[in-house]
Amino acid sequence: MRSRSTDYRLVVIDDGSVDGTGEILAEHARRLPMDVIIHRLNRGLGETERDGFEFVSDHCQPQDAIVRVEGDDTHEPGIYICPAGET
């Protein structure tokens, strides 16, 4: 994104990690345009996605693109779900 001079912002949700993820994210947030949302306890995928999309919808502009990525290797990254009506 930087090489293309494209503005971007990362939003990362730590869903109750106990492996030091929070500290690593805090370190990266000092260098990158990034917001970190912390769940002290694991709330599961549904609540985590909801919290992320609520945060993003409160902070994004109409022209912004939103890309959601699962970061803990629990979902196949090649899966694409078409929006309703799209084939």
For 29-48, the pLDDT digits (tens) are 999 999 999 999 999 888 99
Tell me how far apart the alpha carbons of residues 27 and 23 are, in angstroms, rounded to a whole number.
6
pLDDT of residue 85: 60
What is the residue range of 42's domain? 1-87
* Residues with pLDDT less than 50, the chain: none
d(CA 39, CA 34): 16
pLDDT at 67: 86
User: How far apart are alpha carbons 51 and 45 in whole angstroms?
Assistant: 10
Please state the domain count of the chain: 1
β-partners of residue 36 are 12
Question: How far from 62 is each of 20, 56, 65, CA to CA, in Å?
Answer: 35, 11, 8
